[in-house]
Amino acid sequence: MESLIIGWREWVALPELGIPAIKTKIDTGAKTSTLHANEIQHFQQNNEPWVKFNLHPSRRYPQLIVQSQAPILDERLITDSGGHRELRYVIQTPISIGNLCWPIEITLTNRNSMLFRMLLGRSALQQGSLMIQPQASYLCGKKSIKKYYSVAD
């Protein structure tokens, strides 16, 4: 896989979750990637554990809700930057940044009070062969939520 230089924040896509664009903070301090989700519900599909949840890809447009579901890969006890521990579902889904696409693990949690709806952690960064330019932003291009979703001001 070729290397890609990214900034400390980038627009990414999670195509299998129905997310064509979400602003993401590149977080080398976090091991695992995290996605803002609520109304998280466990269910069985074909005798396998699945999770369904609502995604809110934009803080600016809180009315924008994307419903998604995915097989549960794992459940992990995660310690956040404030030292709080939480048991979270872990899913695996492809991520697309620039011209690269690869599968990553993502934990689901409520990030409503956080500036970024998604954090991209070290594990995903290593798999994606990414290099970070910490002083730069949106090296893979800026996107408009309105271009990808039907939202009204």
The per-residue pLDDT for range 13-58, each reduced to its tens digit, is 999 999 999 999 999 989 999 999 999 999 999 999 999 999 988 8
Average pLDDT over residues 85-96: 95
Q: Is the pLDDT of residue 1 over 60?
A: no
d(CA 26, CA 69): 24
The amino acid occupying position 30 is: A
Pair of tokens at residue 68? 């998604």
What is the pLDDT, as a whole number, of residue 2? 65
Q: Is the pLDDT of residue 120 over 70?
A: yes
Q: Please compute Rg for the chain using Cα positions.
A: 15
Q: Is the pLDDT of residue 5 over 90?
A: yes
What is the pLDDT, as a whole number, of residue 18? 94
Structural domains of the chain in order of their starting residue, each with its CATH number? 4-139 (2.40.70.10)
Q: How would you write 102-141 as a 3-class SS string? A: EEEEEEEECCCCCCCCEEECHHHHHHCCEEECCCCCCCCC
User: Higher model confidence: residue 15 or residue 62?
Assistant: 15
Maximal CA-CA distance, the chain: 47
Query: Is the CB of residue 24 less than 8 Å from the CB of residue 14?
Result: no
d(CA 8, CA 130): 11
